[in-house]
Structure formats: structure tokens, C-alpha cells
Amino acid sequence: MTNPFFSPWTTPHAVPPFDQIEPAHFLPAFHEGIRLHLSEIEAITTNPEPPTFPNSIEALERAGAFLSRVADVFGNLNASHTNPELQAIAREVAPLMANHRSAIMLNAALFARVDAVHAQSPTLPAEASRLLTQTHKHFVRAGAQLAPDAKSRLAAIDQSLASLTNQFEQNLLADTAAYELILPDEADVPPSLRATAQRDGHWVITLQRSSIEPFLQLSPRRDLRRTAFEAWAARGDNGNQYDNKALIAEIVQLRRERAQLLGYPHYAAYSLADSMAKTPAAARALLDQLWQPALAAAQRETAELTDALEAEGIDTPPLEAWDWRYYAEKVRLAKYDLDEEQLKPYFPLDNMIDAAFWVANQLFGLSFTVRPDLPVYHPDVRAWEAVDRAGAHVGIFYGDYYARPSKRSGAWMNSFRDQQRLAGDITPIVTNNLNFNKPPAGLPTLLSYDDATTLFHEFGHALHGLLSNVTYPSLSGTNVVRDWVEMPSQIYEHWLSEPAVLERFARHFETNEPLPPELLAKRKAAQNFNQGFAMIEYLASSYVDFEWHLLEDDMLRDVRQSEAGWLEQIGMPREIIMRHRSPHFAHIFGSPTGYAAGYYSYRWSAVLDTDAFAAFEEKGDAFDPEVAADLLRYVYASGGTADPMELYQAFRGREPNTDALMRSLGFV
């Protein structure tokens, strides 16, 4: 067998040769990568020269390049276009890689060299000094200073967590794909979904957000809304072979034990020690600051939606969670004369991609050219080359925009290769994954305003990878603390609503007419509508995330009862559920670390992004070149080369405050 991982890639810009890679190639490549990586580590630890920054820290940074290439390709394919073969490999590889990471991070001889260099406090350039500090910290947080017995237990925990969280993700994918609401009568299908939902003479609503949310918004059939909503809320909680509740109990207990082995009272304390917030108390203080205004707004919204429901002669039962989106659309239409379906013809997918590219050009001088010659892993995937103002190559961007059963739900950015200069001028290869409904051939993909916002959000992440300008790969791009990583993505959302962007790209897919000013005015007037609901469902998930990771004892908690009890404590409105119930909360249970005790970071970053965008507003120009240059230098290009608060203060000239966020939400 010719394995493409064992040869140099001769593709343009050395992109992965997807047309040659087969599932059978991965396991041999993983095993060889592990062997090579361990031999590189041995060369460091047996070096007779005294430990120095080049022969220990930089050497460690260079090690494992082959294994990283294999793991990056596999991880992306398994998330974006998986199959039973890849899933079986994932189950085998997850504990294998966890064990390999432990073998390196708990290697006493290796840590002795890292510790020795750290103790020397050598005079280094700023980025090298940051690398030394972060490398030492990562070893300590991985257990390098523990006694041998504790190290063995920590390694076993990490191996178990890798397997359990991988199983959680596979269960969720299977449980989501297993459900279909079959509608034989076209009259029961909202008109805007008929084209994308049609299948073999009937119509199908799935549990992908791009299918289920529009159905809940637009279907007048209360019984069907309830059926679909309850299935959506129960993903991973159906008592079948895909049920995730037992996995959650194990994951939570193992994380707690891991944190306590490292000297922390609970996992939340361990997790936030390496963050901008620093402590769970600081992060929860932000949630608490938002909760009461959000609750008051949600209560006002509940009253409005209840009035709309009763106006239709429905008074029992009262407003339910499966009613919210439907009556919210009715109230929006009544209050603002705005039907979100009116906007979709003006937001075709291709226009929104071009809009995201155009903003990057105006701010940072990037240009994107379609590269149909590059291999892709699915026919729906597109590839572009990014170049700078001088025409020099910057990186490759892949866009994978459509939902399919082989792709996990949600939207995310990932990297096939990080930018760096340590091993030469290595340019980045990044990807965006979204889950829009693919229309029949010949029809355009029309996005809601929220869909377009998500596209801009993920492209902000992509720019964080593409614009990285650092030396060391572990400090590159999105390799930053969790409550900073959402800042570059969330600030990018702001440009979607800029008049210059909408006038140029929000064009009717048939007539090319611009978005009518009156429709835009209605959208702006309604921008804070339903914000109470949106904030409550998000904050509730953040609170429950913390509660799981604040546990300090060995009790295996009942997932449903615990979740319900914590929601009762915060006064969760009956008519709203968490954005992510625990059995399908992949952010916190779908990977060994992920956003565990860190889901708050989206709101933490919202403070940063609204305050940061205000710098442009204060200039009166959303494309002010001086502010854009600072945004590039201190946010998008800097990666993890400095403490994020220092970077923010360098950009803004001060620490952030919540004023802009509270104004943007309509809470003041």
C-alpha cells in the first residue's frame, strides 16, 4: 500500500492530497508518527549538552511534526465527513494519543530540561520568553511535578477521558442522524423549507439546526412543533444505545479527580487558572451581571408571546418551549412588520462568502482566489488561496458549508496546518465548517440573517489562523486561551451589519436589487428583539457547565435531576430550555477538554468584541485604517505570543468594560 503520509506532499502549497488519502492509511501513519515523536523526545532527553532554550524548548517545539500532520487531517475528516471506518479508527486512536501525550508530558527527564531552562530565566525575545513560560506551565498542568503513582493515575484518567468524550461525540452524531420527522403532506411543511426538505415524495425535518429551527419558527401545527422540539431537546437522552448520561457522570468524576490530583478543589478552578478570567468566581460574576437584565427581558417577551398565543384562542396549555420560536416570529411581524423570511432572498450564500472576503480585504488587504485545482475531501467543499496586498501567498482556506449525515452538527473552524517560521516559512491551511441546508440543484442557498452572522463568525476564526504572524507553532493562530479565542470571531460579526457591506452584498438572488432601506430599517429596529430568550438559553448552559465542573465529591449525579435542580436555583423560566442540554452539550463533553468550565467564554468575549468594535465607532469609520492595523497586529496576527489582556490593552489603550455590550443587547 502506498501511504501518502509517508511521502512529501507535492500538491500546490503542500495541501493534503485528499484524493489519495484512504481510511486504511491513518493507523499506520499514527503509529509511525508516535514512533518518530518519541525518538525525537529521546534525542532531547539524552543530549549531553546542558539544557538551553534552543536544545530543549525549541527542539521540543520542532518535535512531532509528522504526527501533527496526521492528527490534523484525521481530526478534520472525522468531524466533517466521517464514516464507520473513521469512527472505528477514532475509538482506537483516542486512548492511543492520550497515552502518547501522557508519555511526553509526564517524562521526568524531559521536564527536568524544561524546568532547568525555565529556572535559568534566560534573556530571550518576547515571543521566545512567552513560549518558555507557556511550555513550563503546560507541563506543570499536565502533572509533570506529581509523584510517580499520581502520574500513573493521571495518565489513566486522560486515556479514559479521551475514549469517553470520543464516544459522547459519536453517540450524539448517531442519535441526531437517527431521527426524522416524516411529513407526507406538503401543506404541513413551511414554504421556505419545501425545497430543501423534499425527499422521495415526502418531506423530512431533521434535528440539524438548519432544519429544525426554521420548522419551529414557521410551522403552525402545534402538535408537530412539540414532536420535533421534544426530539431535538432529547438528543443523547433517549435511553437507547446512544444515551450519553452515563458518560457524563464518568467524565465529570474523572475531571474532578484529575483537578484534585493537580491540587485544585474542582475542575473549574483548574480550567480557569489558564484563562483571562483566572477564577470561576470572576467568570460567574459576569454571568450574574447579565442574568437579571436577561431574565427581566425574557419575562416581558413571555407576556408578549402569551398574548399572541391567546389571541389565536389557545389558552391551555400555556406558552410552551416548542411555541416560543413560532410566536416570536408572529410578534416580530406585528411589532416591527418584519418577517425574517423576507430577508433570506437578499442573503444568498455566495454573496455572503464574498462579503466576508471583501471585509478582510478592506481591513487587512487580503484577497481570495478560487482554487478548483486543489484536492478536496467532499464535492461540496470549496478551496481558495489568500494573498496579501503585494500578491504574496498567505494561506489556503477551505469552506465546507452544507449539512450532511457524516458531519457533526454546529459550526466551527479548524486547521490542517498552522502558520509558523521555526521550520521554515510555513503558511496556514484553515477550514470553516457550517451546516446549511443544501438546496436542490439549480437553486440558490438562501441564508437567514443569523446564518449569515454565523458565517462571518467562523470566518473571523479563519482569519485568526490565516493572519497569524508568529515563529512558534504552539503559539500560532487560535492556539490561545479559551476566553480570548472567541474575540477575533465575534468582533468580525459586526461588519455584516455595516451599510457598506449590506449595500454591496445583500442583493436579491433573482433581481440583484439591494436590500430595501425600509427592510433594513426594520431589521435594525428589531435587532434586540428576543434578546432575553437568546441570553437566557445561553447563560443557563453556562451556569450548568460550571455546576458540573464545580463538584468536589465522588457522587455520580443523576443528569436530569442535577440539571433541573441547577436551573431551578437560578430561576430558569419554564418556557425556555438550555441552548445545549447536558446529554448533547458537545462543547463541554465532546472532547477531553474543549469548553469544559469554559462555555462562559462566549459572553466574556462579547464584552471584548463590543468594546473593541467601539474603537471603530469612535472614529466614525468601521474600516478606519489605523484601528484596523492595530486590530491586525494585536489580535489577529499575535496568536498566543503575549498575555491576552496585555494584547487587548495595547489595542484599546485600556482594559475592557461592559458598557458597549449592555448597550448592544438593549439592556440599558
Contact 531, 666 (CB under 8 A): yes
Contact 578, 540 (CB under 8 A): yes
Give me the long-range contacts of 276-284 (CB less than 8 A, separation at least 24).
276/481, 276/483, 276/484, 276/604, 276/644, 276/645, 277/483, 277/600, 277/604, 280/546, 280/550, 280/597, 283/483, 283/546, 283/600, 283/601, 283/604, 284/543, 284/546, 284/600
Cα 644 from Cα 633, distance rounded (Å): 13
Closest CA to 397 of 452, 461, 466: 466
Task: Give the pLDDT confidence score for residue 234 in this predicted structure.
Answer: 98
- Would you call 379 exposed, middle or buried from its count of C-beta atoms within 10 A (0-12, 13-18, 19+)? exposed
Q: In 294-381, which ranges are E strands? A: 367-370
Which residues lie below 8 Å from residue 479, measured CB to CB, with a gap of 6+?
418, 473, 639, 640
Strands of 198-199's sheet in order across: 181-183, 202-205, 198-199
Full 3-state SS string of 504-566: HHCECCCCCCECCHHHHHHHHHCCCCCHHHHHHHHHHHHHHHHHHHHCCCCCCCCHHHHHHHH
Cα 256 from Cα 265, distance rounded (Å): 8
**Residues with a known catalytic role:** 458
Task: Give the pLDDT confidence score for residue 668 in this predicted structure.
Answer: 74
In degrees, rounded to 5, the angle at the alpha carbon of residue 126 between the alpha carbons of residues 123 and 132 is: 70
Residue 565 phi/psi, 5-degree rounding, is: -65, -45
Task: Give the pLDDT confidence score for residue 557 in this predicted structure.
Answer: 73
Task: Give the pLDDT confidence score for residue 665 in this predicted structure.
Answer: 87
Cα 364 from Cα 487, distance rounded (Å): 17
Residues of the chain with pLDDT under 70: 1, 555-556
Instruction: State how beta strands 393-402 and 429-436 pair.
Output: parallel
Closest CA to 276 of 479, 484, 461, 474: 484
Cα 242 from Cα 221, distance rounded (Å): 29
Q: Which residues pair with 415 in a beta bridge?
A: 430
User: What is the per-residue pLDDT across 445-489, written as a single tens digit (0 to 9) for each?
Assistant: 999 999 999 999 999 999 999 999 999 999 999 999 999 999 999
User: In Å, what is the CA distance from 451 to each residue of 44, 349, 502, 653?
Assistant: 48, 9, 15, 33
Closest CA to 358 of 459, 506, 501, 502: 501
Closest CA to 611 of 643, 651, 573, 646: 651
User: Which residue stretches of 81-208 are H helix?
Assistant: 84-105, 108-120, 126-141, 148-178, 194-197
Cα 99 from Cα 95, distance rounded (Å): 6
Cα 651 from Cα 655, distance rounded (Å): 10
Q: In 388-525, which ranges are E strands? A: 393-402, 412-417, 429-436
Closest CA to 127 of 651, 647, 642: 642
User: In Å, what is the CA distance from 219 to each residue of 104, 192, 322, 325, 545?
Assistant: 54, 11, 11, 10, 32
Amino acid in the structure at residue 312: E
- Residue carrying the nine cell digits 437517527: 178
In the chain, the domains with their CATH numbers are 4-105+107-145 (1.20.1050.40), 180-233 (no CATH), 245-338+529-599 (1.10.1370.10), 346-518 (1.10.1370.40)
User: Taking the model in full, what pTM does it have?
Assistant: 0.95
Residue 432 phi/psi, 5-degree rounding, is: -115, 135
Which residues lie below 8 Å from residue 454, measured CB to CB, with a gap of 6+?
411, 434
